[in-house]
Amino acid sequence: NLMQNVVVERTGDWQITVRTPVAATTGYLWIMGGGGAQYVWPKEWLDEYATSNEWRDVVATGAFMIDDYIAGSAAKYIKNPNYWGVNPVGPGKGDKLPYADKLTWQIVPDASTRQAALRTGQAEWSFIDNFRKEEFDTIIENNPEIKYAQTIIDPLQISGRVDLADNPFSKKEVRQAMMLAIDHPSIVEDLFQGQAELIDSPARKWYPSIYTPLEELAEETQELYGYNPEKAKELLTQAGYPDGFKMTLVLQNTPEMEEMASLVKAYWDEVGIDLSLNVVEASIFTGMWVGYAVEDLMLSRYPGGTGALFVRYSMGYYRGPNFFNMSHVNDPPGTDPIIENAYNVQNENVMVNYEEADRVTKETWKYVLGEAFTIQLPAPWGYRVWQPWLKNYFGEAQCKWWVQYAWIDEELKASMGH
């Protein structure tokens, strides 16, 4: 709807003007959230190369230019000599960026091979890895000098179809029973060795204006994050399923997801929920997800707890038909008055009164947790690691804006035998 109602015009030699519908949330998405990702392309390039999938045809204004691409192996970059950026602060203030002359992204699907590259100094940093405790402990044991930052890995969650009346998941008692049947504290202590967050969605503790600690939630909601299989059976009986029911869970074929799915299957089997696992490759999973092709259950990382700007003030995780509303809550809009009212209050206050926008968001998240619109699982801590000779990197996530500031301390690297 946004793209159908937006007008983009050239209004100067180096200026474009974007006119959007008059709505506070629209302005917020564009100004604060970046609208997701918008790019400005030369018209001449679009006319000739817009449908090209050839890396040699890429045109951009970034700090690095792609120099070579070896399918399934590596992408190699060189610095852009005409890059516009300069270092804005610190000892290097005013320095022309980027610092590095070249950059190589090695494509290494195997996790053990990536870890070996870090241990032996063949890699400065791993783009995709947030190592769990046992992996991190192994790295630190062999490389005590390595740098690291502790973070939180987005939790796995199970979503269903709240909007389908004949689906067991549409009943609050069933969803609560599914939560109660899982031993959440045991997953934290045993599977994740105590290094995990019991609640990490829909808001992470890093965002106190919209996050509520477990002990401040309603007692009924707190109970969902414990373990009570007997009460789970009682709720299933109240919901009309004294003998349980059968459902299928769709998940990607990753070790982490398969491990968690098997654990949940075992827990639910104890209360009469017969869960079949449909393990598929990532591309198939994505197609089923975005194509709304699943009418039972899906295991994914949505909705997340990272406070993503583009969904925080739009009820995007729990409103209307969109990819991130995995459980189809308030779909179509208005079917859940509490969610819809919160959305309207947000719309009135975002870009105007963020304190009020956060207040209604925080209150609504309490409601969301009590309703168990998603079966939430603990979020393990993760560790990002990098070599001590990689400078101007401090543990930032996958977004690579920091790369233009990074440089290699060659003397330190050599002194460490690399």
| pLDDT tens per residue, range 54-83 | 999 988 888 999 999 999 999 999 999 999
- Nearest-angstrom CA–CA distance, 201 and 213: 11
Residue 127 pLDDT more than 80? no
Q: What is the pLDDT of residue 26?
A: 60
Average pLDDT over the chain reads 90
Residue 156 pLDDT more than 50? yes
Residue 81's CB: how many other CB atoms inside 10 A? 7
What Rg value do the Cα atoms of the chain yield, rounded? 24
In 33-146, where do the E strands start and end?
64-70, 74-79, 102-106
Residue 231 pLDDT more than 70? yes
The closest alpha carbon to 328, from 183, 200, 182, 169, belongs to 169
pLDDT category, 174, cuts 50, 70, 90? very high
Higher pLDDT, 281 or 44: 281
- Determine the average pLDDT of the residues in 126-131: 81
Residue 1 pLDDT more than 50? no
Q: What is the pLDDT of residue 327?
A: 95
- Nearest-angstrom CA–CA distance, 250 and 269: 17
3-state class (DSSP) for residue 68: strand
Task: List, edge to edge, every strand of the sheet that includes 64-70.
Answer: 64-70, 74-79, 102-106
- Determine the average pLDDT of the residues in 168-181: 99
Q: What is the pLDDT of residue 248?
A: 98
State which fold the 157-380 domain adopts.
Answer: Dipeptide-binding Protein; domain 3 (3.10.105)
Kindly give the pairing relationship between strand 102-106 and strand 147-152.
unpaired
Residue 291 pLDDT more than 60? yes
- The domain ranges of the chain are 1-40, 55-107+388-418, 157-380
pLDDT category, 53, cuts 50, 70, 90? confident
Contact criterion met (CB below 8 Å) for 291 and 145: no
User: 343-389 pLDDT, tens per residue?
Assistant: 999 888 877 788 998 999 999 999 999 999 999 999 999 999 999 99
Give me the residues paired with residue 102 across strands.
78
pLDDT category, 28, cuts 50, 70, 90? low
User: 294-337 pLDDT, tens per residue?
Assistant: 999 999 987 766 666 667 788 888 998 888 899 999 999 999 99
- Determine the average pLDDT of the residues in 190-207: 94
Kindly give the pairing relationship between strand 74-79 and strand 390-391.
unpaired
The closest alpha carbon to 274, from 253, 250, 248, belongs to 248
pLDDT category, 132, cuts 50, 70, 90? confident
Q: What is the pLDDT of residue 39?
A: 66
- Nearest-angstrom CA–CA distance, 312 and 358: 9
Residue 102's CB: how many other CB atoms inside 10 A? 11
Q: What is the pLDDT of residue 414?
A: 97
Alpha helix ranges (H) inside 305-378 = 309-312, 337-349, 354-371
Burial class (CB within 10 angstroms; exposed 0-12, middle 13-18, buried 19+) of 315: buried
Q: What is the pLDDT of residue 128?
A: 75
Q: What is the pLDDT of residue 21?
A: 64
Q: What is the pLDDT of residue 350?
A: 79
Kindly give the pairing relationship between strand 245-252 and strand 297-300.
parallel
Q: What is the pLDDT of residue 397?
A: 76
Q: What is the pLDDT of residue 332?
A: 94
Percent of the chain with pLDDT over 70: 91
